[in-house]
Structure 1
Amino acid sequence: MEWEKVVDKIRDLILGEIREELRDFKATVSGQPSGFALAIQSINARMESIESRQSNIESELRDIRRAIYETNKRIDELRVELKTEIMQNTQRIDDTNKRIDDLFIEVANIRGDLNKALSQKEVIDDLITRVQRLEDRVLTAA
């Protein structure tokens, strides 16, 4: 029986300590939900801030994409304008080259005619000189 009393005493001591621990644990656990609530509120506030920043970033990205699209559109329009201008300038250059070629041919023809005329003038000058000599002889002989 003494053993039973000792066992009962030990059991009471252990159960008392366990009860005390449970009370402390209960107090700790009952205080933690409010701490958890504060932590959750803090996390929610941070998440809202992050979501707000993410929304702002997405908005800025949309604006950047729109600006890039508009810039690309203007670049494409400028390319078309440049191609048109280049084609027009190429046509003008081709026309100018054709006129230069035509003028070159005309100058070459004029040069040929001039050389022919100079050659004929030399023949005519030679004939005039001969005719004058003949006249001089005839006049001198008479």
Structure 2
Amino acid sequence: MTDTSLAPSQVTAETLAAFSDAFNRHDANALMGFMTEDCVFDAAAGPDVHGIRFVGRDAVRVAFEAVFASFPDAHWGQGRHYVIGERGVSEWVFTGTHTQGWRIEAEGCDLFEFRDGLIARKRAFRKERPKQPA
């Protein structure tokens, strides 16, 4: 049996940069075009060890749209993107003002798994910081 985990991926750092750009445009349709039908998104927060897990394009789209609704000015800046084999990483600084009036600025990253040239899994991680007044 051969380990193909480091085999070249159809997904590149440029793909992840384009995915990040779609987040910054708050373009859920474009985001879903990067993801498999059975994609998995593990949110940065939630009651389970993996945060809240969303499975399938419909559920993941709703989760992404909820972020855009909660943070109308959400932005993932200072992006750095890496791909090795069928895995990737995006590093970023998330900034946004919540609809409840508090502001966040925190470093974070996404860990990705790819399949057939698409994102099959996105796991989000973000620094936990006290809420700041807007």
Q: TM-score, normalised by structure 1?
A: 0.16
The structure with higher relative contact order (CA 8 Å, sep 6+) is 2
User: Which structure shows the higher helix fraction?
Assistant: 1
Which has the larger Rg?
Answer: 1
